[in-house]
Every structure is written in structure tokens, then in C-alpha cells.
């Protein structure tokens, strides 16, 4: 009997330690008051409205999926997930984020966010932030691309500023050194694995050359191509994924010793990549968010409230 009691105490103690450990991790990585079901009472149809709008947009143009995910990424990486990338102007008069060369005409999905905001203002005026709309829309873009859905913690508020000058130091060019790219992610509280997984969404919905080109070029000291691949198929892939002379970000990820094992692992396990991608998107959505009384709930995602 004593042994049974001691055993149970040990189990309970271990469980409490487990909870403390994982709660601490949650606080460190995402202590920002976001939670799933944030609008369950104030605007219960919010996520359904977003999902339906993204579904309609995707059926009109499948390019909106990648566009919305990229929009979310570029917003979160510049001063946090505060919908500052959506602003056309601010009271300061400075050029806004969307005017940056890294954004500009390459941004897609802005009109989808506008439509969603208009629908939500009809449903529940002044309740759902543009930052949360963007986060929900990115999730629905992932779903429309054929990946599993995931639950999005919400409660973000919208930022009051947006500066084109802030983009350059946060959105790095693919030609940047791999060390700089890794540091840009770790500064946001994201791991190297999360970085690789997120960058796997460059052209979400199709398989990237980077996930298998190491099997086509310099596979080993004795074989250029992976001998386990069908020869005709390998030659076809070599034609589709030519080995370029300049080193792209994709090639860096596939060759750097810190990232190569992750790329190889994900290349052979799409289910694991999908699961980790969902988790990485959730973590990305926690970067430097505004909550509580910080920021505002914009009436129009393109302008701060008057």
C-alpha cells in the first residue's frame, strides 16, 4: 500500500512538473493573452465568415492562397502581427510598409481582407481586428492549399504605425547569407526548424525543387544522382529543377548543415511537414502582438481610426 501511494505521489509530482515546464514554455514563446475561441461570444460567426470569403477568392484565383500566407508572413515579420502591412497611410505621413520594394506590387490578397472586414463590420461592428482577420485568412489559405486546418489563437489588436523603412531590416532578400536569415527568425522567437518549415511555403500547394534537388546533384562522392531514384524520373526532375550557378535561399537550406537534415526529413514525410507547418504558423502569429488596451480595432483595415 505504501509503495502504491508513493508511486501515485511520484506520478502526480511528475505530472505537475510536466505542466509547469510546458506552461513556462508557453509563457516564454507566446505569453501574449491570445486564445482560441476569442470571438466565440462577441462574434461567433467570425471565423466562418473568413473561411467562406477565402473559399470564394480561391475559387476565383488560386493564387490568393500563397498571397494571403505571404501577406501574413510579411506583416508579422515587421514589428509584429499588427496588420500594419494593410495600411495605405498613417498620420505621420511616412511611406508605409506596403510601399517597400520587398512588398509593393507583389502583395496579393489585400482586396480579400477588405471584403472580409466589410462583412464582419456588418455582422459585429468594431469587434474583430484586422490582425486577427489576416491570421484567420492565412489559416484558410493553408486549408485551400490542401493542408490540414488548425486552431488559431486570437485577440490581436491593430497597430497605429507602418513604416516602409522598417521592412528592409526584417524582410531579408533570398540572396542574404544563411546566418543572417537564421538570425532574423530566431530574433522573432522562431526555431531553425520552424524557419525551414515556414520557408517551405514559398509556392504552397506544389512540391519544391529544394525538397529533393540534393538527390539530383552531388548526392554522394560516387553518385551525382540518388541511385535509388528511377533514372528517367531523375532526369525529368533535373530538367525541371536545373542546378543554378548562383546560390538561392532554397539551395542554402538544402546544403547548410544546420538546415539540410530538416529539409531531407520533411522531403520524405509530408504529414509531419504539414503538422509542423501548422504549429509554425501559430507561433508566427504570436510574434510581437498587441493585446489588451494596446493598439485599436480598426474600422477600415487600410486606415487608422480617426
> Which residues form the catalytic set?
74
Q: Helix 110-123 crosses helix 46-60 at what angle (to 10 degrees)?
A: 150
Q: Determine if residue 269 is labeled as part of a ligand binding site.
A: no
Judge whether 252 and 178 are in contact, CB under 8 Å: yes
Q: Determine if residue 202 is labeled as part of a ligand binding site.
A: yes
Burial code (b: 16+ CB inside 10 Å, e: under 16) for 264-275 equals eebbeeeeebbe
Q: What is the largest CA-CA distance in the chain?
A: 75
Rounded Cα distance between 294 and 20, Å, is 28
Q: Determine if residue 88 is labeled as part of a ligand binding site.
A: no
Angstrom CA distances, 109 to 3, 34, 50, 245, stand at 62, 24, 13, 33
Left if phi > 0, otherwise alpha if psi is -120 to 50, otherwise beta: which for 229?
Answer: beta
Question: What DSSP string describes 5-61?
Answer: HHHHHHHHHHHHHHHHHHHHHHHHHH-S--BTTTTTTT-TTHHHHHHHHHHHHHHH-
Q: Determine if residue 97 is labeled as part of a ligand binding site.
A: yes
Q: Determine if residue 248 is labeled as part of a ligand binding site.
A: no
Residues in CB range of 233: below 8 A, 6 or more apart: none
Rounded Cα distance between 190 and 48, Å, is 29
Tracing cell 470569403 back to the chain, one arrives at: 53
Rounded Cα distance between 161 and 219, Å, is 48
Judge whether 156 and 30 are in contact, CB under 8 Å: no
Residues in CB range of 195: below 8 A, 6 or more apart: 181, 182, 185, 259
Q: Determine if residue 293 is labeled as part of a ligand binding site.
A: no
Please state the residue numbers annotated as binding site for heme b.
Answer: 202
Please state the residue numbers annotated as binding site.
Answer: 75, 78, 80, 82, 84, 97, 202
Please state the residue numbers annotated as binding site for Ca(2+).
Answer: 75, 78, 80, 82, 84, 97
Amino acid at each position: 500500500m505504501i509503495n502504491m501511494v508513493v508511486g501515485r505521489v511520484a506520478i502526480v509530482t511528475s505530472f505537475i512538473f510536466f505542466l509547469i515546464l510546458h506552461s513556462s514554455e508557453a509563457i516564454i514563446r507566446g505569453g501574449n493573452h491570445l486564445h482560441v475561441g476569442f470571438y466565440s461570444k462577441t462574434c461567433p460567426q467570425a471565423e466562418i465568415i473568413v473561411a467562406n470569403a477565402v473559399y470564394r477568392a480561391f475559387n476565383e484565383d488560386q493564387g490568393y492562397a500563397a498571397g494571403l500566407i505571404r501577406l501574413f508572413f510579411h506583416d508579422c515579420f515587421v514589428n509584429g502581427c499588427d496588420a500594419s502591412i494593410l495600411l495605405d497611410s498613417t498620420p505621420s505621413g511616412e511611406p508605409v510598409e506596403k510601399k517597400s520594394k520587398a512588398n509593393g506590387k507583389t502583395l496579393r490578397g489585400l482586396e480579400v481582407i477588405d471584403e472580409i472586414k466589410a462583412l464582419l463590420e456588418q455582422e459585429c461592428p468594431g469587434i474583430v481586428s484586422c490582425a486577427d482577420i489576416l491570421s484567420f485568412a492565412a489559416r484558410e489559405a493553408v486549408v485551400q492549399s490542401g493542408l490540414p486546418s488548425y486552431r488559431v489563437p486570437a485577440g490581436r489588436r491593430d497597430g497605429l504605425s507602418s513604416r516602409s523603412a522598417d521592412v528592409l531590416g526584417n524582410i531579408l532578400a533570398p540572396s542574404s547569407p544563411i546566418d543572417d536569415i537564421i538570425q532574423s527568425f530566431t530574433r522573432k522567437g522562431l526555431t531553425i526548424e520552424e524557419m525551414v518549415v515556414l520557408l517551405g511555403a514559398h509556392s504552397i500547394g506544389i512540391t519544391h525543387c529544394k525538397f529533393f534537388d540534393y538527390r539530383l546533384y552531388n548526392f554522394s562522392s560516387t553518385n551525382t544522382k540518388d541511385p535509388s531514384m528511377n533514372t528517367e524520373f531523375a532526369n525529368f526532375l533535373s530538367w525541371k529543377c536545373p542546378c543554378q550557378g548562383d546560390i538561392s535561399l532554397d539551395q542554402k537550406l538544402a546544403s547548410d548543415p544546420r538546415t539540410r537534415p530538416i529539409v531531407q526529413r520533411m522531403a520524405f514525410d509530408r504529414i509531419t511537414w504539414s503538422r509542423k507547418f501548422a504549429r509554425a504558423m501559430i507561433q508566427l502569429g504570436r510574434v510581437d502582438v498587441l493585446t489588451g488596451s494596446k493598439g485599436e480595432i480598426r474600422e477600415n483595415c487600410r486606415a487608422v481610426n480617426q
